[in-house]
């Protein structure tokens, strides 16, 4: 019998996602970083981050969410791996406890290009198979995850999805490469989608979908940032005059509060979107550039501090002062861009270089 010893020379440093929740203690906020096969938990102390613990995961984490059950003072973590394993973790008495787990794979169907997940107080909606939406009912009072069931979808290429009211809002692309928004209300008792809903065409460059409150949401494209309420358009901010955004892929989107949002772009620019309201009526929307650093894959803001997580570059902790001026408080190194390396003998490399320099060139 043979055995293999496998060791990691360097812990994962690329940040794929992050969430802010109260995982360790009640009334104390934590920032949890998804680094693929490792979760790092930080405590938010005023405007700084203090490392607390790390949680190794058997598999690569694709989805990281938090949920608060009734009569609970702390949040639970919901994790879905790239191989479609689902688990719910709770921190209690200094230990990590598994509250639920299971395999999300279906025996039939073609796998989606990416795993998508959204949730409310009644269910989790997960998209892993083309043409199907997996619903996991949640009993908030007892903290129980019930047996999952599938609801059939007409749409096969889902780009984004969020919860909206008592259902799911999806951004999808049809066979003609035209993008639409569609709302499905979920009937848990009947284990199906209700017939009523709406179907709304959006810009073909639309790539992000963000919930504002229970019935308002934002869509982000290379041309417009649009605020909707249901199927009604409340306000559209044209990006023609905002050169740092136009024609640049919008990658990350973070909810700060119902009037402020962070937007990350592929060129490393991080901007703040402001929604101005007068007596609950939207009066204006404007965008302000904050900083340009690494390629942002996730964003978080707490107090007056912004965390920029990157899969392809270093991550940063920024302090925000008056007039939204920023300064770097901390920098976290990332070896994520390094895909491979090898060890060579420096003497051999030197000899090889000298022989190349002294080689006669024909002609």
Q: Which pLDDT does position 345 carry in this prediction?
A: 78
Q: What's the pLDDT at 244?
A: 45
Note the pLDDT of residue 40: 95
pLDDT for the residue 89: 94
Classified as helix, coil or strand, 343 is coil
Q: Which residues contact 338 (CB under 8 A, 6 or more apart)?
A: none
What was the pLDDT predicted at 361? Answer: 52
Q: What's the whole-model pTM score?
A: 0.84
Which residue positions in the chain have pLDDT lower than 50? Answer: 243-248, 363
DSSP string, 154-190: S--EEEEEEEETTEEEEEEE-TTS-EEEEEEEEETTT
DSSP state of 360: P
Please give the Cα distance from 299 to 15 (Å, whole number): 10
| Cβ-based neighbours of 30, under 8 Å, separated by 6 or more | 20, 21, 22, 23, 24, 41, 42, 43, 44, 52
38-45 and 48-56: which strand pairing? antiparallel
Q: Which residues lie closer than 8 Å to 282 by C-beta, 6 or more apart?
A: 227, 234, 235, 275, 276
pLDDT of residue 153: 85
Structure tokens at 110: 């073609």
Provide long-range contacts, Cβ within 8 A and 24+ apart, for 311-315.
311/14, 311/15, 311/16, 311/336, 312/14, 312/336, 312/337, 313/268, 313/337, 315/15
State residue 248's pLDDT score: 46
Residue 39: what pLDDT? 95
Return d(Cα 131, Cα 110) in angstroms, integer: 9
Q: Which pLDDT does position 315 carry in this prediction?
A: 93
If residue 58 lies in a helix (H) or strand (E), which one and from where to where?
Answer: none
């Amino acid at each position: 019998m043979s055995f293999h010893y496998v060791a990691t020379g360097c812990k994962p440093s690329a940040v794929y996602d992050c969430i802010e929740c109260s995982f360790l203690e009640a009334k104390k906020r934590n920032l949890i970083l998804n680094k693929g096969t490792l979760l790092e938990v930080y405590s938010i102390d005023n405007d700084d981050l203090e490392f607390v613990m790390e949680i190794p995961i058997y598999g690569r984490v694709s989805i990281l969410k938090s949920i608060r059950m009734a009569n609970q003072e702390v949040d639970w973590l919901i994790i879905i791996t790239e191989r479609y394993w689902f688990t719910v973790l709770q921190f209690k008495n200094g230990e990590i406890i598994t509250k639920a787990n299971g395999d999300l794979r279906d025996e039939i169907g073609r796998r989606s290009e990416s795993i998508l997940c959204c949730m409310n107080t009644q269910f989790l909606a997960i998209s892993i198979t083309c043409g199907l939406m997996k619903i996991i009912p949640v009993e908030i009072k007892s903290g129980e995850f019930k047996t999952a069931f599938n609801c059939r979808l007409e749409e096969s290429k889902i780009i984004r999805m969020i919860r909206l009211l008592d259902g799911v809002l999806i951004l999808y692309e049809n066979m003609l490469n035209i993008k639409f928004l569609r709302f499905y209300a979920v009937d848990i008792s009947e284990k199906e989608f209700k017939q009523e809903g709406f179907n709304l065409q959006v810009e073909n460059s639309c790539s992000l979908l963000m919930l504002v409150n229970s019935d308002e949401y934002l869509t982000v494209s290379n041309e417009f940032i649009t605020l909707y309420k249901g199927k009604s358009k409340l306000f559209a901010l044209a990006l023609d005059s905002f050169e740092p955004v136009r024609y640049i892929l919008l990658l990350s989107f973070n909810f700060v509060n119902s009037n402020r949002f962070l937007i990350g772009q592929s060129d490393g620019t991080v901007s703040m979107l402001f929604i101005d309201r007068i007596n609950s009526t939207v009066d204006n929307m404007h965008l302000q550039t904050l900083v340009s650093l690494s390629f942002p894959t996730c964003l978080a803001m707490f107090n007056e501090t912004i965390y920029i997580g990157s899969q392809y570059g270093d991550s940063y902790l920024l302090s925000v002062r008056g007039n939204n001026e920023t300064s770097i408080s901390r920098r976290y190194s990332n070896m994520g861009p390094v895909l491979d390396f090898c060890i060579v003998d420096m003497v051999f490399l030197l000899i090889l270089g000298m022989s190349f320099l002294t080689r006669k060139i024909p002609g």
